Every structure is written in C-alpha cells, then in structure tokens.
A and B are shown apart, each in its own frame.
Chain A
Amino acid sequence: MKTTAYFRTSVMARRPYLVMEWIEHVLKNPIRTEVQPNGRIRYWGYVAEMDKYLRVVTEPDGETVHNAFFDRRFSP
C-alpha cells in the first residue's frame, strides 16, 4: 500500500491504533466516499472490532493513503 510521508511520520505516530488491514478494508468496502475540493478522496468504513467508523483519505490517485482516523462525527 502506498502512503504519503505525512501519513508515515505524523499520522501513524499520533494515532497508533491504526491498523493497515482496517485501512485496506475501508478502501475496498467504503460506506461512503467523497471527493474533497483539493482532489483528495475520503472513504468511510466500519471497523467491527472497534465498533467505530474509520475515515481514510487518499491522494487524488485513490490509492496513496494520506490520512486516517476514527471519525466520531460520522453517521452512516
């Protein structure tokens, strides 16, 4: 899986709960997707193990992971 340096150095450090398998799961099984004004793409998916919704943001290519977090505001 391709990731940005920002994801590797900053996001993973402060959100150590992130599991790459969950991110892959969300990218393959999104509940919702949105394209941001800057072209990045948001994907939301459900992580059953944690009973939470994970937001994954990719670069405009749709595959390079740029950001991810448990999004407590999201409701399907």
Chain B
Amino acid sequence: MIFEYHPETDMLYIKLIEGVSTESEEIAPGVVLDFDEHNRVIGIEIEDASKLIDLSKLELRALPVVHLILTERASVKA
C-alpha cells in the first residue's frame, strides 16, 4: 500500500494493490476509485486532499507492517 501526495496539485493517491486501471468511478466529490480488469479497486485518488484530510498525521494500527518506506518524489520538468 502506497500513499503518494502531490503538493503542487494537492492530489493524494492511495495505491492499494499493484496493477493498472482500466476504468474509474467518482464515488464522492473529488474521490475517484481506480478499477482493474477484474473489477477490483486498486487505488483511490483524492483531489483537494489537504482540504479533506489531515495530511500531517499518519497512524497505523495493528497492521502487520514489515517494510515502512518514506520517500520524496523526484521533481519532473514540464
């Protein structure tokens, strides 16, 4: 599971499982689910994330976490 935040556009993407999306559906304003070819939800995209969520705190409870990886994205030129 990967949480990736894009501050320049205030977009949060939560990748639940590996895979590629084949279609998507907005389930609430600014909240879009990505589905794969088997109709599984593989990710959640949240627009205006900082307005909807407190991004300053991440708490994990009872997850069997083995790897916790914190990274920063490399900048991409236009």
Contacts and interface: CB of A to CB of B under 8 A. Distances in A.
Nearest to B8: A5
Given A9-B73, A10-B13, A69 B6 contact: no
- Chain A contact-residue range equals 20 to 34
Contact of B25 (A9, A17, A72): A72
B20 A16 contact: yes
Contacts of A15: 20-21, 24, 34
Contact of B24 (A2, A38, A66, A69): A69
Of A16, A40, A72, the most chain B CB neighbours within 10 A belong to: A72
Interface in A28-76: 36-38, 40, 52, 66-67, 69-73
Contact of A38 (B4, B20, B22, B47): B47
Task: Name the 7 nearest CB pairs between A and B, nearest first.
Answer: A69-B24, A70-B23, A6-B9, A5-B76, A6-B6, A72-B23, A15-B21
